[in-house]
Amino acid sequence: MKVRYFPGCTLKNKAQDLDLFARKSALALGIEMEEIPMWQCCGGVFVSANDEVATKLSSIRALSDAEEHHSPLVTVCSACHNVIKQTNHQFNTDSAFRQKAVNYLASDTVYQGGAEIYHYLEMLRDLVGFDEIKKKVVKPLTGRKIAVYYGCLLLRPNSVMKMDDPENPQIFESLIRALGAESVYYPMRNECCGGYIALESKELAEKKSRSVYESAKSAGADTIVTACPLCRYNLLKNNSPLPVVYFTELLAEALGAKEDSNE
């Protein structure tokens, strides 16, 4: 299976492990992730203003590339996925925005709105299947107690993201169980870590992060896993007593794909 892959800029520097182990795990599962050539930053956040077009053009180019190659478009970073998914939704539902985007892009990109977008977790669930992943596990994470952390970008807005139930999601937990670990339920798993308000209010960001890792720790977790580079940074910066790792690293470990890296 081949998929088009949008890594995003954070995965090329501060979040290299998220990218590295995503690629290694995909190969172990028989998936070839073809990185889109000449991709640009997704824009960082989705701007809801209808007249804001320029920062969304990179996402449209990525969507066009996937459509042209008749291939799913896969992302790993929570923020990139959110921006691309929301941009695609706006392109398909807002005719004024669509026309502005087409005018900006001129003839270098032709997008008809038909790309299929998957977060890596959705790819594992919908294109591979957790039962198949379980069969390929060679080093089950037996005895590990994992607290999955969705954060706010993977699930919301639900009317657009449509990944899982935003109040009681299961996709992340199902993956952890397939890898042989115990998925620890805790109340703050899908609440914001405060990353986007860190510059405005360091104290509030710290409070939000603390509520997340204290909730996970009190539930008996030994590790927090996330798909979001900003969430990981914020939790660690605000002194999480638990290790915070990317889910792709645990996946690579369980699939036996981690050893040949330099990690």
Q: Which CATH architecture group holds 130-255?
A: 3-Layer(aba) Sandwich (3.40)
Would you state the structure tokens that stand for residue 85, as one six-digit string? 């998914």
Res. 12: pLDDT tops 80: yes
Would you state the structure tokens that stand for residue 137, as one six-digit string? 């596990």
Would you state the structure tokens that stand for residue 49, as one six-digit string? 């203003």
- Contact residues for 43 (Cβ-Cβ < 8 A; gap 6+): 55, 56, 58, 59, 83
Q: Round to whole Å and give the CA distance between 8 and 178.
A: 27
**pLDDT mean across residues, the chain:** 95
The correct CATH number of 2-120 out of 3.40.1190.20, 1.20.1050.140, 2.70.210.12, 3.40.50.170 is 1.20.1050.140
In tens, the pLDDT along 22-55 reads 999 999 999 999 999 999 999 989 998 888 999 9
Distance of CA 113 to the CA centre of its chain: 21
In tens, the pLDDT along 190-211 reads 999 998 888 789 999 999 999 9
Q: Token match 């502005």: residue? A: 100
What pTM was estimated for this model as a whole? Answer: 0.95
Between 261 and 117, residue with greater pLDDT: 117
Give the residue among 223, 214, 227, 219 at the shortest CA–CA distance from 146: 223
- Asked if 1 contacts 30 with a C-beta cutoff of 8 angstroms, the reply is yes
| Location of each CATH 3.40.50.1860 domain in the chain | 130-255
| Location of each CATH 1.20.1050.140 domain in the chain | 2-120
In tens, the pLDDT along 100-146 reads 999 988 777 789 999 999 999 999 999 999 999 999 999 999 999 99
Question: What pLDDT does residue 263 have?
Answer: 45
Rounded to an integer, the average pLDDT of 62-83 is 97
Give the residue among 240, 227, 146 at the shortest CA–CA distance from 184: 146
Question: What pLDDT does residue 234 have?
Answer: 95
Give the sign of the dihedral formed by CA 179, CA 28, CA 129, CA 7: positive
Res. 98: pLDDT tops 60: yes
In tens, the pLDDT along 74-87 reads 999 999 999 999 99
In tens, the pLDDT along 155-189 reads 999 999 999 999 999 999 999 999 999 999 999 99
Map residue 71 onto helix, strand or coil: coil
